[in-house]
Amino acid sequence: MSEHPRDASAWTREHVAGLERTDDNTTPIIYPPEHNTDPDNHIWDTWLLRTPDGTIADVDGYRVIVALSAPNDLLPGKRHDVATHRFYYSRDGREWTPGGRVFASDANVLGSRQWAGSAIYDPDTGEASLYYTAAGERDEADLSYTQHLAVAHGGTVDADEEGVRFEGPWTHETLAHPDGEWYEREDQSRGMIYTFRDPWYFEDPESGDTFLLFEGNTPVPDGSEACGGDPVGQEFNGSVGIARASSDDPTECELLPPLLDAVCVNQELERPHVVYRDGTYYLFVASHRHTFAPGVEGYDALYGFAADSLFGEYEPLNGSGLVLTNPANAPFQAYSWLAYGHRDEVLVTSFFNYYDYDRPTLDDVAYLPEDEQFRRFGGTLAPTVRLGIDGLDTWIRGTLGHGHLPTTEEELPETEAERIARLRSERGEPGRDGYGSG
């Protein structure tokens, strides 16, 4: 077991003050795809089936994604209240076939609905461990927002000529509740919805130790000095949590102190995950504009931090932490980004969220006529973003098609921006800022 410091790294108001859109972090406008990933369901929050060391699983020539889903005739804003896991599979990483519900039966599934997680596959046995957020409690009469970490194990993922199947029975077990000391419990929460969710499995390539990262909140007791004693600022206390996991026993989980927190800065550091490149741990989270504390501003965006060990100390990428965001005239077009290594670059997938919509906040979606709420919601995989990374600097290199998650063999061509920059330089013409400027 590696050593870890007790103090979390901090994402501070000073870091965030430097945050701004530039050509290097702003994605192009997204247009609706010809057809959605799933013709019957809206999907959001996607993760790839991986082997324990993080490699994308190859199930007899298929790669598999799991996503949160809700029927597409349900008002998009209500989807979190009914979310279930569905899976999709593809041979070429472009065309996805809907495989149906991950858990064929609701029996024993934890929570009144299931939120984001991660999925680990053992290529030798076909067995899978499916980590997820149990949101609410099973069979609750009124929808609650309590959350805990859970795992389903004992089932398999198989493929035959018909396609890919998730096969139970699955044993569902609770892994962790917030402890109230490192991780805020619901009854301690003073602000917007507390968080204890999105378990993400990670095997540290340097130590071989295995962990679950998750989204939490750092308790800030009444009368604390944080934010100069400002009780409103103190309500914003997002953290990246970590627990020790076991590669042999998926039900083992021991909470450790958080890796990073954003007290007085931001309430939600969502879907934390790590990409390891050349000795550096890149920690990514998604967050919303409306979850920043009063007095600091940010966007719906992917934020990132880097450290030379899993336990930190983490420094924000690009000075502020901002890695990529939506353009100013479509500020909510994508969300819930997930970065992963592909050959010598990093790719980022996300879902197509609200488009043709530039109100200051997502909350105003609820004031649109219902048909407009449906029309302006993507509910499908967004274009994949190609990200350049060098030390603490990142830049957008270009984008791929909606839901194009290339197979490991697929070598991606030079991006259009890079090609233009190369031709300019070959012709001795002056360069221009923009994608690919590095």
- Known catalytic residues are 45, 270
How far is residue 230's CA from residue 423's CA, in Å, rounded to a whole number? 54
Structure-token pair, residue 270:
């969502």
Measure Cα distances from 24 to 10, 212, 242, 315 in Å.
24, 31, 30, 19
CB 238 within 8 A of CB 291: yes
Q: Measured from the CB atom, is 56 or 67 closer to ligand FRU?
A: 67
Question: Tokens 């998650």 belong to which residue?
Answer: 405
Least Å distance, CB 216 to ligand FRU, is 11
How far is residue 240's CA from residue 261's CA, in Å, rounded to a whole number? 6
Pairing state between β 377-381 and 345-354: antiparallel
Q: Measured from the CB atom, is 116 or 421 closer to ligand FRU?
A: 116
Between the two ends of the chain, the Cα-to-Cα distance in Å is: 37
Residues of span 280-319 touching ligand FRU by CB under 6 A = none
Pairing state between β 280-287 and 301-307: antiparallel
What residue number has its CB nearest to ligand FRU? 115
Measure Cα distances from 40 to 100, 288, 389 in Å.
10, 27, 37
Q: Does 102 bind ligand FRU (CB under 6 A)?
A: no
> Which of 38, 184, 235, 270 lies at the binding interface for ligand FRU (CB under 6 A)?
270
Q: Does 271 bind ligand FRU (CB under 6 A)?
A: yes
Residues of span 328-357 touching ligand FRU by CB under 6 A = 335-336
Q: Measured from the CB atom, is 76 or 406 closer to ligand FRU?
A: 76
Q: Measured from the CB atom, is 10 or 135 closer to ligand FRU?
A: 135
Residues of span 55-74 touching ligand FRU by CB under 6 A = 68
Q: Does 418 bind ligand FRU (CB under 6 A)?
A: no
Least Å distance, CB 271 to ligand FRU, is 6
Please give the distance of CA 337 from its chain centroid, rounded to a whole number.
5
> Which of 24, 184, 198, 300 lies at the binding interface for ligand FRU (CB under 6 A)?
198
**x-marked contacts with ligand FRU along 9-48 as a string, rule CB under 6 A:** ------------------------------------x---
DSSP 8-state code for residue 333: S
> Which of 11, 87, 96, 115 lies at the binding interface for ligand FRU (CB under 6 A)?
115
How far is residue 225's CA from residue 67's CA, in Å, rounded to a whole number? 40
Q: Does 80 bind ligand FRU (CB under 6 A)?
A: yes
How far is residue 271's CA from residue 285's CA, in Å, rounded to a whole number? 6
Peptide bond into 123 cis (omega under 30): no
Structure-token pair, residue 188:
């301690």
Least Å distance, CB 357 to ligand FRU, is 17
Q: Measured from the CB atom, is 64 or 116 closer to ligand FRU?
A: 116
Peptide bond into 235 cis (omega under 30): no
Least Å distance, CB 147 to ligand FRU, is 8
List residues binding ligand FRU (CB under 6 A): 45, 68, 80, 83, 115-116, 133, 197-198, 215, 270-271, 335-336
